[in-house]
Amino acid sequence: MDFSQNHFALFGLPIAFELDAERLERAYRDIQAQIHPDRFAHAGEAEQRLSMQWATRVNEAYQTLRKPFERARYLLQLNGVDALDPRDTSMPPDFLMRQMEWREALADAGGDSGALARLEDELRAHAAELRAELAQQIDRRRDWPAAAATLRKLRFMDKLLEEIEAAYEQ
Amino acid sequence: MALLQIAEPGMSTAPHQHRLAVGIDLGTTNSLVATVRNGVAVVLNDARGHGLLPSVVRYRADGGVDVGHAALARAAEDPHNTIVSVKRFMGRGLRDLPDLATLPYQFVDAPGMVRLRTVAGEKSPVEVSAEILKVLKARGEAALGGELVGAVITVPAYFDDAQRQATKDAARLAGLNVLRLLNEPTAAAIAYGLDNAAEGIYAVYDLGGGTFDLSILKLTRGVFEVLATHGDSALGGDDFDRRIYCWILEQAQLHTVDDHDKAMLMAKAREAKEYLSDHDEARITALLASGQVIDLLLSETTFNDLTASLVNKTLTPCRKALRDAGLRVQDVKGVVMVGGATRVPRIQAAVGEFFGQMPLTNLDPDKVVALGAAMQADVLAGNKSGDDWLLLDVVPLSLGLETMGGLVEKIIPRNSTIPTARAQEFTTFKDGQTAMSIHVVQGERELVADCRSLARFELRGIPPMVAGAARVRVTFQVDADGLLSVTARETGTGIEAGITVKPSYGLSDDEVAAMLRASYEYAQDDMAARNLAEARVDARRLVEATQAALAENGDALLSTEERAALEKLVAALDNALAGDDLAALKRASDALNHGTVEFAARRMNLSVRKALTGHRLDELEI
């Protein structure tokens, strides 16, 4: 065991976008049950320090793999691709058009929670489609540039969903 | 009669010996201490049978200090020297305190944290809290018949870093070894969940005397995972009292009130609120210093109108926590009510309405936090096998840094599971810049001015380069107590300058020592004896832990030589324990700590492998 192994290996999972969420959760809990600082509160200094480092590492790995967006980004990183490189912001024109439509819909909705909910449903459905595409691009076709482009689209969707949540607040 | 066992002189205590540990609920209004006895968590009472200790400290002119009921009884008579609800001032500056006008204290603004002027001199809220903790510690030791190995102390989940650090400092000042700072709603969830074998999503609604927390937890097979937490660290039962107090002033047409009357009327307001939990109306009578007589009738309806906005204020965090957890109201299987203020019928009704179900009140809302803390203390002290349950808690508020233009760059987002660490790289703004000032803040807002400032420090010695060429890596680490430490280093040129900051409001070891010397009961105390006693406790713990580790897998993980070397270090520390040379004891402790690093690493690796394979230790190939 060492700190340099990848997140998937840490949990004994295959390196892939498609993931058995239950298995990940079980492995995470089983490891935490062994190494969490609460298990070492009465132990020596060396074990307390190591346990905090391990628990920190396991938390980071779990949070990365648990969220599809972060998992995809991490997988691309393992293959040497920085999907969110600020120098590459290219978006296909049809997606740019849809972006503008969604933004307008958000502005038109104002504080109308019914309109916001309809827009939210549409965005969530589209985000789910994009995640299905990611699985194809990463696990089957191993097409990193295509996956990176999908990831950028997903990031836009996430930001817009956050704005919708903020709009509900007002 | 059963025979008692006595160990041979100089021998370490047996590893299976029960270690004395307590859970402490350091509340705004009342504090409690609890422990696990014969497998059952119980609140420890004082000699008169009281479990609740009023969180009130009175400094007397003769130098003595009263804590609890005795202090509370004199609050109206001696308001300046009788500190009530000191928890509200922990880790807070003067400008953070609302309602200054209704507080009868003489505040002194001090950097980081406000201080209070009393007949015994200026006192920091940390010192006042330490007085409460000392009483609870003594109560625990008297009941358990020995020195405590440590305590779990609860804090509101929504406490920020400054408030947590202040609480930990107070415990140190009281001579308590803090096993863990535990979030109050999480403590309540342990007590409730283990009592009811609960599974699923639960919300804990915790309205204490001065703080409000709402935590969403997922309970599965002994794992308590906090999904999200929200709250208001300046909203509590006290605010309901204050509304009644203001109503009294208005009804009686009082414009100026002296500090004696203030303290008395606040107490009357509290009594009326409590009375209204079981009655339709409360009569409030008082005789003011001026001779004026107050005689008012407060109906439940009027009370509900007065406090409706406060009740509503607690529902916003409920909504936000659910959203952060990605859940809807229907997903919540049960709502646990915690804190004395949840006895108010209107609050129970509002919470029931929001969650669409009757909240659970089958555990005493005043005691459930202390009971949960005691259960966790029992585990942390090593009295249980450790396979019983696991807590996964979160950081309540985002942690970040100030960047150009007074904006906040978030490094650790709120609701991250602790312990957690994140690093971020920053660069210089000007050509030839050799220093960088780093400002650590906590909060959700985008502007630094709207967040809580935790610490400022400077990183110097950056080699002069063109703007944007230096690489400064800032790492935030939040430990299992929810406390932050920050390190920064310049990595662009390989020349490293590292620094670890402790937030500015935290106390240094020297400051704690100075406070101890200044306090009344330690005036004649021998500091050296105290230091030696503390070092002995640590050393004994280390010897025990190492022996237990050697017995568990010394054969499997160490060569004969490695094992012999470690055993030599253990024997040396055991030897030092027999003498009373503090320096020698520390040297031997350091040597053993250092010597166990590699063994600890191997044990940890083995644990992870064991977790993944689900096999027993002795089946694994090393």
Q: What percent of chain B has pLDDT over 90?
A: 51
The reported pLDDT for the residue numbered B493 is 65
Assess whether pLDDT exceeds 80 at residue B298: yes
- Domain membership flag for residue A33: yes
**What is the Cα–Cα distance from B532 to B548, expressed in whole angstroms?**
24
CA distance B590 to chain A (A): 9
Of A135-139, B493-497, B536-540, B581-585, the range with the lowest mean pLDDT is: B493-497
Show residues of chain B in contact with A31, CB under 8 Å.
Answer: 608, 611-612
Domain check: are A99 and A50 in the same one? no
- Domain membership flag for residue A82: no
- Domain membership flag for residue A26: yes
CB environment B458-471: b (16+ within 10 A), e (fewer):
ebeebeebeeeebb
- pLDDT band for B11, please (50, 70, 90 cuts): very low
Assess whether pLDDT exceeds 80 at residue B438: yes
User: How confident is the model over A71-129, as pLDDT tens digits?
Assistant: 999 999 999 888 887 777 778 888 888 888 998 988 888 778 888 889 999 999 999 99
- pLDDT band for B497, please (50, 70, 90 cuts): low
The reported pLDDT for the residue numbered B365 is 93
Domain check: are A47 and A113 in the same one? no
- Domain membership flag for residue A81: no
- pLDDT band for B379, please (50, 70, 90 cuts): very high
User: How confident is the model over A122-156, as pLDDT tens digits?
Assistant: 999 999 999 999 999 999 999 999 999 999 999 98
Is the CB of A56 less than 8 angstroms away from the CB of B421?
yes
Q: Is A9 on the interface with B (CB under 8 A)?
A: no
Domain check: are A11 and A53 in the same one? yes
- pLDDT band for B521, please (50, 70, 90 cuts): low
Is the CB of B614 less than 8 angstroms away from the CB of A51?
no
Domain check: are A100 and A43 in the same one? no
What is the 8-class DSSP label of residue B7?
P
Show residues of chain A in contact with B372, CB under 8 Å.
Answer: none
The reported pLDDT for the residue numbered B496 is 58
Q: A3 or B595: whose pLDDT is higher? A: B595
Q: What is the DSSP string of A32-66?
A: HHHH-GGGGTTS-HHHHHHHHHHHHHHHHHHHHHH
User: How confident is the model over B168-180, as pLDDT tens digits?
Assistant: 999 999 989 999 9
Is the CB of B608 less than 8 angstroms away from the CB of A31?
yes
Q: Report whether B382 contacts A42 (CB < 8 A).
A: yes
Q: What percent of chain A has pLDDT over 90?
A: 54
Is the CB of B419 less than 8 angstroms away from the CB of A50?
no
The reported pLDDT for the residue numbered A43 is 84
List the single residue in A35, A56, A63 with the smallest CB-CB distance to B607. Answer: A35
Active site residues of B: 25, 87, 184, 206
The reported pLDDT for the residue numbered A106 is 87
CA distance B481 to chain A (A): 10
The reported pLDDT for the residue numbered B508 is 65
List the single residue in A11, A37, A62 with the smallest CB-CB distance to B480. Answer: A37
Tell me what the mean pLDDT of segment A17-40 comes to: 92
Instruction: Note the helical H segments in B179-299.
Output: 184-196, 237-251, 259-275
**What's A125's domain CATH number?**
1.20.1280.20
Domain check: are A57 and A114 in the same one? no
Assess whether pLDDT exceeds 70 at residue B517: no
Assess whether pLDDT exceeds 80 at residue B310: yes
The reported pLDDT for the residue numbered B63 is 86
- Domain membership flag for residue A88: no
Q: Is A3 on the interface with B (CB under 8 A)?
A: no
Written as one letter, the residue type at A133 is: E
Tell me what the mean pLDDT of segment B522-529 comes to: 60
Assess whether pLDDT exceeds 60 at residue B503: no
Give the residue from A38, A62, A170 with the most B CB atoms within 10 Å of its CB, the best one to mutate. A38
Q: What is the mean pLDDT of chain B?
A: 86
User: How confident is the model over B208-248, as pLDDT tens digits?
Assistant: 888 999 999 999 888 999 999 999 888 999 899 999 999 99
Show residues of chain A in contact with B608, CB under 8 Å.
Answer: 1, 31, 34-35, 54
List the single residue in A11, A31, A46 with the smallest CB-CB distance to B593. Answer: A46
Domain check: are A97 and A165 in the same one? yes
**What's A52's domain CATH number?**
1.10.287.110
- Domain membership flag for residue A104: yes
The reported pLDDT for the residue numbered B622 is 38
Which chain A residue shows the shortest CA-CA distance from B182? Answer: A38
Assess whether pLDDT exceeds 80 at residue A4: no
CA distance A99 to chain B (A): 24
- Domain membership flag for residue A34: yes
Q: What are the residues whose beta carbons fall under 8 Å from the beta carbon of B54, sequence distance 6 or more?
A: B29, B30, B31, B68, B69, B71, B72
- Domain membership flag for residue A72: no
User: How confident is the model over A60-76, as pLDDT tens digits?
Assistant: 999 999 999 999 999 99
User: How confident is the model over B31-49, as pLDDT tens digits?
Assistant: 999 999 988 999 999 989 9
Last residue of a domain, which of A50, A66, A82? A66
A146: containing domain: 93-169
Domain check: are A62 and A100 in the same one? no
Q: Is A41 on the interface with B (CB under 8 A)?
A: yes
Domain count, chain A: 2
- pLDDT band for B1, please (50, 70, 90 cuts): very low
For chains A and B, CB pairs below 8 A equal 112
The reported pLDDT for the residue numbered B525 is 54
Which chain A residue shows the shortest CA-CA distance from B602? Answer: A1
**What is the Cα–Cα distance from A44 to B578, expressed in whole angstroms?**
20
Query: Tokens 């309809």 appear where?
Result: A118
The reported pLDDT for the residue numbered B7 is 47
The reported pLDDT for the residue numbered A135 is 93
The reported pLDDT for the residue numbered B495 is 61
In 3D space, the residue among B415, B417, B426 whose CA is nearest the CA of residue B486 turns out to be B426
Tell me what the mean pLDDT of segment B132-145 comes to: 95
Q: B504 or B77: whose pLDDT is higher? A: B77
Assess whether pLDDT exceeds 60 at residue B71: yes
Is the CB of B419 less than 8 angstroms away from the CB of A11?
no
The reported pLDDT for the residue numbered B100 is 77
Assess whether pLDDT exceeds 60 at residue B471: yes
Domain check: are A99 and A62 in the same one? no
Domain check: are A105 and A60 in the same one? no
Structure tokens at A135: 């699985």
Domain check: are A62 and A102 in the same one? no
Which chain A residue shows the shortest CA-CA distance from B179? Answer: A41
Tell me what the mean pLDDT of segment B55-67 comes to: 94
